[in-house]
Amino acid sequence: MKLDDMTQRCGEWLRGSGPEADIVMSSRIRLARNLADFPFIRRCTPVDRQAIVKAVDKRVLKDAARKDAGLDKILLIDVNKLERVDRQFLVERQLISRELSESEGAAAVAINESETFGLMINEEDHLRLQVMHSGFDLTGAWERISRIDDFLEAKLTYAFDDRLGFLTACPTNVGTGMRVSVMLHLPALVLTRQLEKVFRALQKISLAVRGLYGEGSQASGHFYQISNQITLGRSEEELIEQVSDVVPMIIEYERKAREFLIKESQKDLHDRVSRAYALLCGAQTISSEETMDLLSSVRMGVNLGLIHDLEIPVINKLFIHTQPAHLQKIRGGSLDRADRNIERAMYLRQNLRPDGNGSSKN
């Protein structure tokens, strides 16, 4: 398994199945862990950083027993050796954070073949484990990551305090070190202008709302990531329960908004969806932002039965494959913004209407 093999594939979490997959794109749990034998990252020497990567590789990734913990076919990627476009590629696939992609000391990420598991080494903490499942499946993700975490804990010595729990570089992660998040596709709540109301309610119960690419990112394509902000003073199960309890309510709001749109303005909705699809198939040059917005309308259209000749996994894939680094990897060369917009339009035409000759040349 090599990085370049991933180009044409998709993470398993994009397969568009799993419970409530029409609205819940993915469920993700990440755990922040640190090794007791090393200072926190900001105080690490270059030698320390290298030693951490080595320790994890030798004690965890090369251990034969890892397969029993569900760590099959693992690829360890040395982030330092990656070109800029490859780092960005991993960010777009949600396998590493923007922070790790910009790191200068020794840093790595271990991922499995289906991309459901990721282990960042030397990000803000020594270890950041994540498990990402398609659809609304926090229970499955939790079972999986627990098993992996137990395996790692048996091989490494975690920095742990009996009173506080897991120790982390930033106090906001102390305790469980856990972030539970679900990525929701909420186009109807956007169209009916009800999103603000929902978000205010979420903030009151200390849940955070972010865009597709985590902290500080804009919500594009009408994707919203809901996650816990509190990590301390509650058990992992309680934190998962809090998110698990609120997500069905948001799903219900989104479904009601879709029903309302279908009932009150079916023609306008159908028109919006159909025009979005037409533009994606017809554009000769298109920005990433416009692509996300149009794909969002099309995704809703497929889920509402307004478009029949498209599958959700194709659309999910396009959200990621039309990102700048993916386009360049697929095309196999460096492209400036204008050329990317042209390449993106071509890629969309080829993937949305693979058998159609299109209406115009190129």
Q: Cβ 351 to a second copy, closest distance in Å?
A: 14
Does position 114 interact with a second copy (CB under 8 A)? The reply is no
- State the binding string over 304-333 for a second copy (x if CB under 8 A, else -): -xxxxxx-----------------------
Among 2, 193, 204, 267, binds a second copy (CB under 8 A): 267
Q: Cβ 337 to a second copy, closest distance in Å?
A: 13
Among 59, 147, 275, 331, binds a second copy (CB under 8 A): 275
Q: Which is nearer to a second copy, 81 or 308 (CB)?
A: 308
Pairwise CA distance, residues 240 & 30, whole Å: 11
Q: Which is nearer to a second copy, 256 or 353 (CB)?
A: 353
CB 103 within 8 A of CB 123: yes
CB 104 within 8 A of CB 113: no
- CB environment 109-143: b (16+ within 10 A), e (fewer): bbbbeebbbbbbbbbbbbbbbbbbbbbbbbebbbe
Q: Cβ 297 to a second copy, closest distance in Å?
A: 11
CB 168 within 8 A of CB 9: no
The alpha carbon torsion through 346, 352, 358, 362 (nearest 10 deg) reads: 10
Q: Cβ 30 to a second copy, closest distance in Å?
A: 38
Give me the residues paired with residue 26 across strands. Answer: 134, 183
Rg of the chain over all Cα atoms, to the nearest angstrom? 21
Q: Which is nearer to a second copy, 132 or 283 (CB)?
A: 283
Part of the chain binding a second copy (CB under 8 A), chosen from 17-25, 39-47, 193-201, 282-290: 282-290
Does position 342 interact with a second copy (CB under 8 A)? The reply is yes
Pairwise CA distance, residues 148 & 351, whole Å: 36
Element (H, E) at 160: strand 160-161
Q: Cβ 342 to a second copy, closest distance in Å?
A: 6
Q: Which is nearer to a second copy, 113 or 339 (CB)?
A: 339
Q: Which of 142, 125, 131, 62 is nearest to 95 (CA)?
A: 131
Does position 362 interact with a second copy (CB under 8 A)? The reply is yes
Pairwise CA distance, residues 89 & 280, whole Å: 22
Does position 301 interact with a second copy (CB under 8 A)? The reply is yes
Q: Cβ 333 to a second copy, closest distance in Å?
A: 18
Interacting residue ranges for a second copy, rule: CB under 8 A: 267-268, 270-271, 273-275, 277-279, 281-286, 301, 305-310, 338, 342, 345, 357, 359-362
